[in-house]
Structure 1
Amino acid sequence: MARFRLLVCDLDNTLYDWVSYFVPSFYSMIEAARPILSVDLETLLDEMREVHRFHHDSEHPFALLETESVRRSFPDKTYDETAKLLDPAFHQFNRSRLDTLRLYDGVLDGLKLLNASGVTLVAHTESKLYGALGRLDQLGIRNLFSSVYCRERPRYRPGHSDLSDMRFRRYSTDNVVELSHHQRKPSKEVLIEICERQAVPVSDAAYVGDSIPRDIMMAQQAGVFAIWAKYGASVSKADYEKLVRISHWSAADVEREQALRSLAESVNPDYIANSFKDVVERVLSGHISASRSSAVGT
């Protein structure tokens, strides 16, 4: 059969290693902020976790500005004045990100080949607007996607101006669809909507992602060919523990994740990719069989 006409791509840990970029960048920022605020590491990490939980987002933009230590250190400063005082910390995050955020091998050439072959590419991520667009822009691949589906931009507390919005005003959001919290993965309805908007039957679409419960189960429930990015599923234990330390996950989030994992225990991907090259080859080869083969990439 002919190639798939549509490939919907998860982003984090499917096109690049999100954990290996975010964790060192975040902790570099924290270390740079501590002497400015005269606060110990564990206290600041506790405060950052509380901000993340308030916004249900572990990469809430400029979360540092909403911590108790910042309010205590600069009680008479405006939000913008405080941001300038903490600029060395934000600079350290950006510097680390430039050093650590990299596409997996074969992703750039693979996306270009799929585009040249007439395959429509759509990005679908649980990251919020600023994080998703920022990474796609830094990696130079946003123009390869016809649409970007991401979680809606963050809501700020009273008195906290949206510094990120100022940064992204120069970017067009014409091809961006912001999803609400209840539309998070594994919402098959979102995936079906993507296919409908692209005028592609679900039978001609493929989805690639690193999570069995969120990506693969969602794709199969929607009737979309499910490619598991096995290469992105392994995470450094040390980095993961550091991420959990400041995560926005609540007890309810943990319970939901456990429930999803239980539901996905019997889920087998239609194809297992050991590299993004495997993904490209499978998309271009199209359906080999109408049955779910769980074929492994070579």
Structure 2
Amino acid sequence: MKSKALAIFDFDNTLFDWVHVWYSCFKAMMDEVEAKTGLSIQDLADEIRPVHQIHGTSEYAFLLEAIPSLQVHLDRQPAGEVFAEAIQAFRKTRRKELRLYPGVADALLRIKGRGARIAIYTESQSFYSFYRLKRLGLDGVVDRIYTPPDHELPDGFMEEGRRHYAREFYHLRHTEQRHTPRGELKPNPDLLQQIITDFGVAKDEAVYVGDSRQKDVAMAEDANVDYAWASYGEAQETEAYEMLKLVTHWTDDDVRREAEIRARKVDAKIELKKSIIELFDHYRFSDYNA
């Protein structure tokens, strides 16, 4: 059994069910929008996609004020007031549905308790990843999180009255944050190698865990880094995934790139089928001495 001093995790659908959380929150919000305006998700999808594409995320927090067909309902009033019920439905659902997969908290604390370091490498932007890291109780458990640069926030967002939480909530207190280069995405093995280099450990002291065979496993293999495929988190062709595709931030170029990635045959040698706890069947963790 190989000994590791650094565990690097994908975040979404590896430590928690991102697709389920996104779908539950987005649907709750848009159901309230439909009740108020008569406009369904299907009616607005062609206007939602370009907004998501502009900002590079399918969870743009300021979506309602950017949808053209909703402008007549806003009538120059803040979306937070006009669609207060919709925004509240989103937040209420998020509080209910956002939780770690079973076994994740125990696994991370077990790794930490052995003296190893923990990093997260995600393609979700900082603004959203930080919220989840804090809400999931991982600020400080995770040593460092790597995210792409954020989209710009609306003018005056950080002023009192615009934001939902106090200013300090939008920053991590204990986990260090670093940006990945803008436009660089998985499965780029150089990014994974850079994370390992940042921690000052050798490749054979690190292990990477992610839910995507084509992105996460392929990246680790190309970087010659040990890995575990978290197949328990792989997104399926569910209603949630179909809605995500309907309003996705992916451009046509992104879709073509994804098709090329999926065309690559990747056979994962180590698979976590039911829980992240299975990681300890393959690797043990020890003191980080860099």
TM-score by length of 2: 0.88
Q: What is the distance in 1 between the residues matched to 2:182 and 2:256? A: 17
Equivalenced residue count is: 280
Q: 2:156 aligned with 1:155, yes or no?
A: no
Q: Give the corresponding residue for 2:238.
A: 237
Preserved contact between residue 121 and residue 146 of structure 1 (Cα < 8 Å): yes
Q: CA deviation at 1:167?
A: 5.5
Worse overlay, 127-136 or 29-38: 29-38
User: 1:185-224 maps to which residues of 2 (within 5 A)?
Assistant: 185-224=186-225
Equivalent AA in structure 1 for residue 125 of structure 2: K
Equivalent AA in structure 1 for residue 268 of structure 2: P
SS, match of residue 126 in structure 1 = coil
Structure 2 unaligned spans of 5+: none
SS, match of residue 124 in structure 2 = strand
Q: What is the distance in 1 between the residues matched to 2:55 and 2:256? A: 19
Q: Give the corresponding residue for 1:292.
A: none
Q: Give the corresponding residue for 2:99.
A: 102
Taking a change above 3 Å as real, the CA distance of residues 203 and 182 of structure 1, as seen in their structure-2 partners, is same
SS, match of residue 179 in structure 2 = strand
Taking a change above 3 Å as real, the CA distance of residues 110 and 32 of structure 1, as seen in their structure-2 partners, is same
Preserved contact between residue 7 and residue 283 of structure 1 (Cα < 8 Å): no
Preserved contact between residue 130 and residue 168 of structure 1 (Cα < 8 Å): no
Q: CA deviation at 1:130?
A: 1.5
Q: What is the distance in 2 between the residues matched to 1:231 and 1:198? A: 28
More helix by share: 1
Q: Give the corresponding residue for 1:271.
A: 270
Q: What is the distance in 2 between the residues matched to 1:76 and 1:22? A: 28
Q: CA deviation at 1:269?
A: 2.5
Taking a change above 3 Å as real, the CA distance of residues 35 and 271 of structure 1, as seen in their structure-2 partners, is same
Q: CA deviation at 1:137?
A: 1.2
Q: Give the corresponding residue for 1:117.
A: 114
Structure 1 unaligned spans of 5+: 287-298
Worse overlay, 227-236 or 111-120: 227-236
SS, match of residue 273 in structure 1 = coil
Q: What is the distance in 2 between the residues matched to 1:243 and 1:108? A: 27
Q: 2:61 aligned with 1:61, yes or no?
A: yes
Equivalent AA in structure 2 for residue 145 of structure 1: V
Q: Give the corresponding residue for 1:296.
A: none
Taking a change above 3 Å as real, the CA distance of residues 165 and 178 of structure 1, as seen in their structure-2 partners, is farther
Q: What is the distance in 2 between the residues matched to 1:120 and 1:285? A: 9
User: Among residues 127, 132, 151, which one is paired with 1:130 in the alignment?
Assistant: 127
SS, match of residue 44 in structure 2 = helix
Preserved contact between residue 5 and residue 285 of structure 2 (Cα < 8 Å): no
